[in-house]
Amino acid sequence: MYNSKAIILPNFMSDIKPIVIANWKMKLGLQEAKSLASDIKNKVTAQIEVAVCPSFISLTEVGKIFSGSNIKLGGQDCFWEANGAFTGEVSAKELKEVGCEFVILGHSERRKYLGETDEMVHKKVSQALAAGLMPIICVGETFEQRQQGAKDYVLIQQTTKALEGLEINASQQVIIAYEPVWVIGSGQAIDPNEAAAAHQVIYQSLFDLFPSDIVKNNFRIVYGGSVDETNVSDFTNLDKTSGVLVGGASLNINDFLAIIKNV
């Protein structure tokens, strides 16, 4: 539905520190995770927001290492129910209990390998918010969808279905991560201008869903997909872009420090 408020575009987030989110995926064992977490705690000094999302197994230990520092902790997923007989799943409340402030939801790898649908993502977002976590909702088109000219449609659908019907109050924060699926892990990020256009489409969807003051104050959009030290500032300098989600380049301390330095 068309929303006339959507044409008013305030000066987004100009006074907010950029965020760098590390997605460690299933790439580090517990000892490797602890070692990298110690390096991050000892070496990251920049005054930007840094959040690290280790695997479930490593969350508690990594959380202990980060305690007393400014480095924040996030999960890579949560289940769509609050509690119950769901063998193998982890609730948003459990993430909160071990010190998480964030949770990545709807990552393209989960959509691809685990059949995660927009409906599942929606329920997970609802659980995350109820537990007091900040959802990092991943949206993005595949190469085939891009070739079919469906990129904007996919972004609108994924954003809308994840959030439609939810109330976001003034104390809640949501991050949308635009991650073009075809560049994740490829070593080649997209043209920053293309990311800016995608972020505009996502903002438009948010304006269609929520009051403009909520969109302005409670949502951030970050870019993810082959971010490295050479390209990170191209993305963080974009208007309406609040940071980056980093996979591969967050696994090496020097690469990660260089990204933070260049933001």
Binding site for ligand PEP (CB under 6 A): 23, 179, 184-185, 224-227, 245-249
Output the smallest distance, CB 235 to ligand PEP, in A: 11
Degrees, nearest 5: CA angle 230-26-51:
55
- Closest CB to ligand PEP among 82 and 114? 114
Output the smallest distance, CB 191 to ligand PEP, in A: 15
- Closest CB to ligand PEP among 63 and 247? 247
- Closest CB to ligand PEP among 63 and 224? 224
- Closest CB to ligand PEP among 127 and 226? 226
199 is catalytic: no
The single residue of 49, 107, 109, 122 carrying the catalytic annotation is 107
**Residue 122, phi then psi, degrees to nearest 5:** -55, -50
Three-class SS of residue 222? Answer: strand
Output the smallest distance, CB 208 to ligand PEP, in A: 26
Three-class SS of residue 73? Answer: strand
Output the smallest distance, CB 228 to ligand PEP, in A: 8
Cα torsion at 208, 116, 27, 35 (round to 10°)?
60
107 is catalytic: yes
Whole-angstrom distance, CA of residue 76 vs CA of residue 54? 7
CB 133 within 8 A of CB 99: no
Question: HSE on the CB side for 202, CA within 13 Å?
Answer: 31
Whole-angstrom distance, CA of residue 24 vs CA of residue 152? 28
Closest-approach residue to ligand PEP (CB): 247
What is the DSSP secondary structure assignment for residue 17, as one 8-state letter?
P
- Closest CB to ligand PEP among 80 and 182? 182
The single residue of 116, 122, 179, 199 carrying the catalytic annotation is 179
CA distance from start to end of the chain: 37
Output the smallest distance, CB 48 to ligand PEP, in A: 17
Active site residues per annotation = 107, 179
